[in-house]
A and B are shown apart, each in its own frame.
Chain A
Amino acid sequence: MSHHIVEAKNLEFTYPDNTHALLGISFRIRHGESVAIVGANGAGKSTLLLHLNGYLTPTSGQVRIGDFPLTKETLQEVRRTVGMVFQDPDDQLFMSTVYDDVAFGPLNLGLPIEEVDVRVLKALDTVGMTHLKDRPPHRLSSGQKRRVAFATVLSMSPDILVMDEPTANLDPQARRQLINLLSTFKHSKIFATHDLDMVMDLCERTIILHDGKIKADGPTSEIFQNERLLAESHLEKPFRLQGCPVCC
Chain B
Amino acid sequence: MSRLETAFYDLGHLDLLAEKNTPIHRLDPRVKVVVTLLFILYVVSFDRYEVARLLPFFLFPAVLIGMADLPFGYLWRKLLLVSPFVLFIGIFNPFLDREILLQVGPLGISGGWISLLSILLRFILSVGAGLLLIATTGFPAICMSLEKLGAPKVFTVQLLMLYRYLFVLIEETIRMIRAYTLRSFAKKRIRYPVFRHLLGNLLLRTLDRAQRIHMAMLSRALTGEIRIARQFKFGPAELFSLAGCIVLLTFMRFADIAEFLGKLILETVT
Residues of A within 8 A of B (CB): 50, 53, 55, 76, 79-80, 82-84, 86, 88, 90-92, 94-97, 99-100, 103-105, 107-109, 113, 116-117, 120, 134-139, 152-153, 156
Contacts and interface: CB of A to CB of B under 8 A. Distances in A.
B212 A108 contact: no
B140 A136 contact: yes
Main secondary structure of the interface of B (DSSP, over half): helix
B12 A76 contact: no
Contact of A91 (B216, B222, B231): B216
A55 B219 contact: yes
A96 B167 CA distance: 11
A108 B227 contact: yes
Given A86-B212, A86-B215, A139-B12, A100 B220 contact: no
B212 A107 contact: no
B260 to A, nearest CB: 44
Interface string B157-200: 00011011101100000000000000000000000000000000
A86 B216 CA distance: 7
Interface in B138-152: 138-140, 143
Interface of B: 12, 15, 19, 138-140, 143, 160-161, 163-165, 167-168, 209, 212-213, 215-223, 226-231
A246 B219 CA distance: 46
B191 to A, nearest CB: 30
Given A55-B215, A79-B218, A90 B168 contact: yes
Nearest to B208: A91
A136 B226 CA distance: 17
A79 B220 contact: yes
Given A55-B215, A94-B217, A138 B168 contact: yes
Contacts of B164: 94-96, 136-138
Nearest to A92: B216
B152 to A, nearest CB: 17
B20 to A, nearest CB: 12
Enumerate the 10 nearest inter-chain pairs by beta-carbon distance, A residue then B residue, closest first: A96-B140, A138-B167, A105-B220, A103-B229, A107-B227, A108-B221, A84-B219, A91-B212, A92-B216, A96-B160
B232 to A, nearest CB: 12
B229 A100 contact: yes
B143 A79 contact: no
Given A86-B215, A97-B140, A108 B222 contact: yes
A96 B216 contact: no
Contacts of B217: 94, 104
Contacts of A83: 219
Contacts of B167: 138
B17 to A, nearest CB: 13
Nearest to A120: B229
A107 B229 CA distance: 7
Contacts of B226: 104
Nearest to B159: A96
A108 B223 contact: yes
A137 to B, nearest CB: 7
Contacts of B221: 76, 79-80, 105, 108-109, 156
A184 to B, nearest CB: 22
A82 B218 CA distance: 12
Contacts of B15: 136, 139
Contacts of B220: 79, 104-105, 108, 152-153, 156
Contacts of A91: 209, 212-213, 215-216
Nearest to B139: A96
